[in-house]
């Protein structure tokens, strides 16, 4: 899962070179939550390079990856590195290895996510370094969108591979399972402190003003929080759907499902801060609860 369906209609070229060290092959998995599809990156300057993320495992991806390798002078893959275990990032790993032979697959291990795939995961953690000719990647632990999420600094450029934490267009979904808005905001602050020159997102185009984009993401969440607090003040105790209707007046109702996910993530954060309280519907699902200010 990645971003809200505001990115429908955006298209990107299948293959592109974004810097001397970074080429992109589009995962061929466009959709409601993936926009133009997952960006998979060839990283390095040598004949053998790192592949960061693998798309979803769709048939049409391999020829695109081969073309990206050819056009960038990459003759073989050194290894696979994954930002996290959502299916549109890890799902193509097996087919890449069926085509190119066994490769080391590295990520932050997470039994609940990796267990679905027959992969022997090489464990990464915060601070892990992966090197190839012309490129050094350093892992930054950034939970919030997913519990196993890593971003990677490309040391030679001071740039950042942001995975699903910062996107080229739209905003990041905080899923009900594995998502945590408070963690996510802390991760954004951590990324902002790195002052990345540019950001290579997992979906959407290259971001030229890294710090500006991260600041806009933080402000967007702060605005939403203020609107949700104002809605609960106006409405009194309310179900999530009523808060959505009150806050998202300019958004068509077809998108209110995605908006409910976002509002719920805010309410759970406010609850953990002692600022909102839920009346549980009996199923433990925060999206079904009634909410009020504490
Ligand atoms: Zn994801």
The per-residue pLDDT for 257 is: 86
Q: What is the pLDDT of residues 78-97, one digit of tens each?
A: 999 999 999 999 999 999 99
User: How far away, in angstroms, is 176 Cα from ligand 1 center?
Assistant: 12
User: How far away, in angstroms, is 90 Cα from ligand 1 center?
Assistant: 10
Q: What is the pLDDT of residues 249-284, one digit of tens each?
A: 988 888 888 899 999 999 999 999 999 999 999 999
Give residues with Cβ within 8 angstroms of 180, minimum separation 6.
Answer: 143, 144, 147, 174, 265, 268, 269
User: How far away, in angstroms, is 35 Cα from ligand 1 center?
Assistant: 12
User: How far away, in angstroms, is 149 Cα from ligand 1 center?
Assistant: 8
User: How far away, in angstroms, is 59 Cα from ligand 1 center?
Assistant: 20
The per-residue pLDDT for 5 is: 42
Alpha-carbon span 175 to 240, nearest angstrom: 15
Question: Domain 5-208: which topology?
Answer: Metallo-beta-lactamase; Chain A (3.60.15)
Whether the Cβ atoms of residue 89 and residue 83 lie closer than 8 Å to each other:
yes
User: How far away, in angstroms, is 74 Cα from ligand 1 center?
Assistant: 27
User: How far away, in angstroms, is 29 Cα from ligand 1 center?
Assistant: 13
Alpha-carbon span 8 to 11, nearest angstrom: 9
Question: Domain 223-293: which topology?
Answer: Arc Repressor Mutant, subunit A (1.10.10)
Confidence band, pLDDT 50/70/90 cuts, at residue 11:
confident
User: How far away, in angstroms, is 228 Cα from ligand 1 center?
Assistant: 25
Q: What is the pLDDT of residues 201-227, one digit of tens each?
A: 999 999 999 999 999 999 999 999 999
The residues of the chain that CATH labels 3.60.15.10 are 5-208
User: How far away, in angstroms, is 148 Cα from ligand 1 center?
Assistant: 10
Q: What is the pLDDT of residues 60-76, one digit of tens each?
A: 999 999 999 999 999 99
Which structure tokens are listed for 256? 């209110």
Q: How much is the pTM?
A: 0.93
User: How far away, in angstroms, is 3 Cα from ligand 1 center?
Assistant: 8
User: How far away, in angstroms, is 4 Cα from ligand 1 center?
Assistant: 12
The residues of the chain that CATH labels 1.10.10.10 are 223-293
């Amino acid at each position: 899962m990645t971003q809200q369906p505001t990115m429908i209609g955006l298209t990107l070229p299948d293959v592109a070179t974004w810097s001397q060290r970074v080429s992109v092959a589009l995962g061929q998995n466009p959709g409601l939550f993936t926009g133009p599809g997952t960006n998979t990156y060839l990283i390095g300057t040598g004949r053998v390079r790192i592949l960061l993320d693998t798309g979803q495992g769709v048939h049409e991806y391999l020829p695109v990856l081969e073309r990206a390798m050819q056009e960038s002078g990459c003759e073989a893959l050194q290894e696979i590195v994954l930002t996290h275990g959502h299916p549109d990032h890890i799902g193509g790993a097996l087919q890449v290895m069926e085509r190119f032979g066994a490769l080391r697959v590295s990520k932050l291990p997470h039994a609940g996510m990796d267990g679905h795939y027959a992969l022997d995961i090489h464990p990464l953690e915060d601070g892990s370094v992966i090197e190839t000719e012309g490129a050094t990647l350093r892992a930054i632990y950034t939970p919030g969108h997913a519990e196993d999420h890593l971003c990677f600094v490309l040391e030679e450029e001071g740039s950042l591979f942001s995975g699903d934490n910062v996107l080229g267009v739209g905003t990041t979904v905080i899923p009900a399972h594995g998502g945590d808005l408070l963690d996510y905001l802390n991760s954004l602050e951590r990324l902002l402190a790195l002052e990345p020159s540019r950001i290579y997102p997992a979906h959407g185009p290259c971001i030229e003003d890294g710090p500006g984009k991260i600041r806009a993401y933080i402000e967007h969440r702060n605005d939403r929080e203020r609107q949700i607090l104002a809605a609960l003040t106006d409405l009194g105790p309310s179900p999530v759907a009523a808060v959505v209707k009150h806050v998202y007046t300019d958004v068509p109702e077809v998108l209110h499902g995605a908006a409910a996910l976002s509002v719920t993530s805010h309410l759970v954060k406010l609850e953990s801060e002692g600022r909102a309280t839920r009346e549980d519907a009996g199923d433990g699902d925060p999206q079904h609860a009634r909410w009020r200010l504490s």
